[in-house]
Structure 1
Amino acid sequence: MPTIELTKENFDTSVKTSDIVLVDFWAAWCGPCRMFAPVFEEAAEKHQDIVFGKVDTEAEQELAAAFQISSIPTLMAIRDGVILYAQPGALPGPALEDLIGKVREVDMEEVRRKIAEQGAEQ
């Protein structure tokens, strides 16, 4: 599946209607972003069941600000609407594949239980 452009208009819908979403926050002027782009695209072709979205931080400054993106590229992994991973830096292909495997293995029932516990404590 090709990557999709995520905007403030379609971001929430894309996250809510997909089990796993990987988001690449990038900008055209960013050298590391341009180096990471083919790695991200290759993974998108390989993992057809995952939504791979790109947020142009120049065009979508409000969305980038909402997620407090201060360094690009930043990769975010969202599963069942929960952010499991958000780190700046371009990953090499094997590291991205490893991350995808880990996101798939997460016990989301356990994650939801911990979120509920934290909410109850506050």
Structure 2
Amino acid sequence: MVHEITDADFEKETEKGLVVIDFWAPWCGPCKMQSPVIEELSEEDKDIKFCKLNVDDNQATASKFGIMSIPTLLVKKDGKVVDQIVGYHPKEQLQKLLAEYAA
């Protein structure tokens, strides 16, 4: 399950454990390609929390993290940013990357 988050609840929703935040917008073509990959990963790996943040509606958080291109995936572990991935990435590539942080 992918959680929709906002500027208001970003910190609370991403402060514990391993969290992947998908910064996206409805008009973004590559975001539309990335979204089903994120959905699949969220169903397969229950130890990782997956969130989506619409950058059009939540500009403060996007600005705080310097999100200049979308899709951007921000990976947080116990509240600290450990990685930032820009652009579309296939499922296998994301699985490999996330396995390193889950260990």
C-alpha separation between the residues in 2 aligned to 1:65 and 1:55? Answer: 12
Unpaired stretches in structure 1, ≥5 consecutive residues: 106-122
Shift of 1:45: 0.4
Give the structure 1 partner of residue 28 of structure 2. Answer: 30
CA distance in 2 between partners of 1:44 and 1:74 (Å): 16
RMSD in angstroms over aligned alpha carbons? 0.9
More strand by share: 2
Instruction: Please name the residue that 1:75 is paired with.
Output: 73
Aligned residue identity for 1:27: A
Q: In structure 2, what is the equivalent of residue 48 of structure 1? A: 46
Question: TM-score normalised to the size of structure 2?
Answer: 0.95
Structure 1 runs of 4+ with >2 Å offset: none
Task: Give the counterpart letter for 2:49 in structure 1.
Answer: V
What's the offset of the Cα at 1:50? 1.3
User: For this pair of structures, how many residues does the alignment match?
Assistant: 103
User: What is the aligned-residue identity percentage?
Assistant: 37
How far did 1:63 drift?
1.1
Letter in 2 for 1:19: G
Higher RCO (CA < 8 A, seq sep 6+)? 2
Q: Which residue of 2 aligns with 1:94?
A: 92
Structure 2: state its 5+ residue gaps.
none
AA aligned opposite 1:103: Y
Q: Among 13, 19, 22, which residue is 1:21 paired with?
A: 19
Once the two structures are superposed, residues 68-120 of structure 1 have per-residue CA deviations (whole angstroms, 9 ceiling, x without a partner) of: 10000001110011111012111101001011101113xxxxxxxxxxxxxxx
- Between structure 1 and structure 2, the one with the greater Rg is 1
